[in-house]
Amino acid sequence: MPTYDYLCDTCGHKEEHFHSFYEEDIDVHDCPTCNTKLRRLITLGGGIIFKGSDWPSKELKQEDQDAKLHVARRKAKHLKESGAVPWDEQIKQKEATTLHDKLENDMRKREEDKIASGKLARDMDAAVKEK
The domain limits of the chain are 3-40, 48-84, 85-131
Q: What is the pTM of this model?
A: 0.33
Half-sphere exposure of 65 (CA within 13 A, CB side): 6
Q: Spell out the residues 6+ positions from residue 57 whose beta carbon is closer than 8 angstroms to its own.
A: 50
More confident residue, 74 or 80: 74
Binned at pLDDT 50, 70 and 90, residue 131 comes out as low
Confirm if 17 and 25 have CB atoms less than 8 A apart: yes
